[in-house]
Amino acid sequence: MEFSIKQGSSEKLKSGCVVVGVFEGGKLSAAAQAIDKAAKHALSDLIAQGDMSGKTASTLLLHKLPGVAAERVLLVGLGKADELNNKTSLDIIDATFKALNATPAKDAALYITDEGVGKDAVWVLKQAALSAAEHAFRADGLKSKPAEPATLKHITFATLDKPAAALKNVLEQTAAVTRGMALTKTLANLPGNICTPTYLAAQALALGKAHKNIKTTVLEEKDMQKLGMGSFLSVTRGSEQPAKLITLEYNGADKKQKPVVLVGKGITFDTGGISLKPGADMDEMKYDMCGAASVLGTMQAIAEMGLKLNVVGVIPTCENMPSGKATKPGDIVTSMSGQTIEILNTDAEGRLILCDALTYSSKFNPDTVIDIATLTGACVIALGHVASGLFSNEDKLAQELIAAGEQTHDRVWQMPLWEDYQPLLDSNFADMANIGGRAGGTITAACFLARFTKDYRWAHLDIAGTAWKSGKDKGATGRPVPLLTQYLINRANK
């Protein structure tokens, strides 16, 4: 999908389809008015006859209007002007691309940033570009006969007045975000028999090849052994696939600038191990590497942007499998930090690989560390599929992430990291247990990680509810790539 910005009058702009808004009650947006005038009141007539209500997200497609240069005109209902909000805005954008993709138009010109579709032109532009890419994304690469790719290939954000200078930069960055998200989604959707730790490592090495400012390194199990990563290695024991510890170093600023480290959970399949999961929907545990995939997508996006910042991606990746060699409930392991862990449930494996990756991250002398993980089913119960869970040991960092989430509509909700929860991890035999019981399961998982992140500023994102969709629309969402890239863009701009 390609994007551009263009100033021009709506009736004269040549395109496969020009999109203009109509308010509920029949008031035309400025771009619609120009078309109405050129087409001898064709739009006003339609509205007067009740063919277009202007109700939020309603659409009407018109062909070859006289006096209009575009082959088609898509009218989109904007609802009542004073009732527009982020949600109706997104509904309007979604309806627009559904309707556009039902036409054979190869390109479209959207008059939506200057009037009507939202309060904030930058926000609307970002969401429209993300929606266009989402509608064009295909997940059928493993079908013997994949569907045709989308015909709609080029979106022009058209404006009547001179577009704000900032829009162009925002659009270029958002285009990079859509490509990063596509990488994240493609990797996440791959099944566990293809997307193994070795496969993820190969993808990371390929990213390093494609971008000269990314350096990828892959550590093997013997290296992890030497580093004392007993916790990480305990998870991979039952698997025939070798575990990998991937690091990607993106150098966009002065070497001396401390990096932001992104740590992504990369369990390429989570059976639960000896604490085996029930069979229903277990296929979805191929998505247990979505944190890792979001790190790769984010690294690609910022490398394309050439962001002036140093960022390191750290990806601990392995399978969680049962076998004769697998770790058993009650086993005690020593983490790289020296702290010992009683593994009471082998299905709480994400924190076991993350804690060693977090300790390892200190070696980059980080300014900030953010881990991203499909960590707990409890997070899905708490926040559903709307917000990712956010924890941080510094409130300013939490606020920055919350703001970046709002800017991209890839939102997070902060949860407490209070000391009061820590005793739930007490163990009679080791420094801590790896589970804290059913109550507050998302919080105790974060509290576990907090024991390994005392040396730096840190945030944890639990993306269990937001990284993929289940049911008929099963598929990865590409979240939280928009959030992470926006946070990094904001930092680079500071």
Q: Which positions touch ligand BES (CB under 6 A)?
A: 270, 288, 345, 347-350, 374-378, 380, 435, 441, 464
Shortest Cβ contact with ligand BES: which residue? 377
The residue (of 48 and 276) whose beta carbon lies closer to ligand BES is: 276
Binding partner of residue 26 among ligand BES, Mn ion, Zn ion, none, CB cut-off 5 to 8 Å per kind: none
Q: Give the active site residues.
A: 277, 351
Considering only 176-184, 269-277, 299-307, 439-447, which stretch makes contact with Mn ion by CB under 5 A?
269-277
Residue whose C-alpha is closest to residue 298's, from 157, 479, 444:
479
Dihedral class, residue 414 (left if φ above 0, else alpha if ψ from -120 to 50, else beta): beta
- The reply to whether omega before 480 is within 30° of 0 (cis) is yes
Instruction: Provide, rounded to whole angstroms, the least separation between the CB of residue 383 and ligand BES.
Output: 12
Q: Which is nearer to Zn ion, 152 or 446 (CB)?
A: 446
> Who contacts 286 (Cβ-Cβ below 8 Å, separation ≥6)?
188, 190, 191, 192, 195, 268, 269
Tokens 């990314």 -> residue = 214
Q: List C-alpha distances in Å: 19 to 11, 25, 96, 105.
A: 11, 19, 8, 12
Write down the least CB distance from residue 445 to ligand BES, Å. 7
174 binds, among Mn ion, ligand BES, Zn ion, none (CB under 5 to 8 A by kind): none
Q: Using CB distances below 5 to 8 A depending on partner kind, what does residue 376 bind out of Zn ion, ligand BES, Mn ion, none?
A: ligand BES
- Judged by beta carbon, residue 214 or residue 373, the one nearer Mn ion is 373
* 264 to 293: interface string for Zn ion, x by CB under 5 A: ---x--x-----------------x-----
User: If we measure between CA atoms, which residue out of 282, 301, 281, 283 comes closest to residue 293?
Assistant: 301
Please report, as residue ranges, which positions from 346 to 375 form the binding site for Mn ion (by CB under 5 A): 347, 349
Q: Say how many residues make up the chain.
A: 494
Nearer to Mn ion, 247 or 442 (CB): 442
Shortest Å, Cβ 338 to Zn ion: 24
Closer to ligand BES by CB, 26 or 377: give it: 377
The least distance separating ligand BES from the CB of residue 64, rounded to whole angstroms, comes to 50
Instruction: Name the DSSP class of 242.
Output: P
Angle separating helix axes 121-136 and 165-189, nearest 10 degrees: 30
Least separation in angstroms between residue 442's CB and Mn ion is 13
Q: Which residues contact 222 (CB under 8 A, 6 or more apart)?
A: none
Q: Taking a C-beta distance cutoff of 8 angstroms, is the pair 72, 18 a contact?
A: yes
The residue whose Cβ lies closest to Mn ion is: 347
Which CB sits closer to ligand BES, 249 or 462?
462
Q: Determine the Cα–Cα distance for residues 310 and 180; give it in Å rounded to an integer.
A: 18
Give the integer Cα–Cα distance in Å for 138 and 189: 11
User: Does position 319 bind Mn ion by CB under 5 A?
Assistant: no
Q: How many CB atoms lie within 10 A of CB 211?
A: 18
Q: Is 319 among the residues that bind Zn ion (CB under 5 A)?
A: no
Euclidean distance between CA atoms 439 and 460, whole angstroms = 19
> Pattern of binders to Mn ion over 331-350, x per CB under 5 A?
----------------x-x-
Choose among ligand BES, Zn ion, Mn ion, none what residue 380 binds, the Cβ cut-off being 5 to 8 Å by kind: ligand BES
Enclosing H/E stretch for 63: strand 59-63
Q: Taking the CB of residue 168, how many other CB atoms lie within 10 A of it?
A: 14
- Quick one: tokens of 173? 């960055």
Question: According to CB under 5 A, which residues from 324 to 383 bind Zn ion?
Answer: 350
The answer to whether residue 270 forms part of the interface with Mn ion (CB under 5 A) is yes
Please give the Cα distance from 285 to 308 (Å, whole number).
Answer: 35
Question: Which CB atom, from 70 or from 435, has the smaller least distance to ligand BES?
Answer: 435
Q: Would you tell me which residues interact with Mn ion (CB under 5 A)?
A: 270, 347, 349
Q: Would you tell me which residues interact with Zn ion (CB under 5 A)?
A: 267, 270, 288, 350
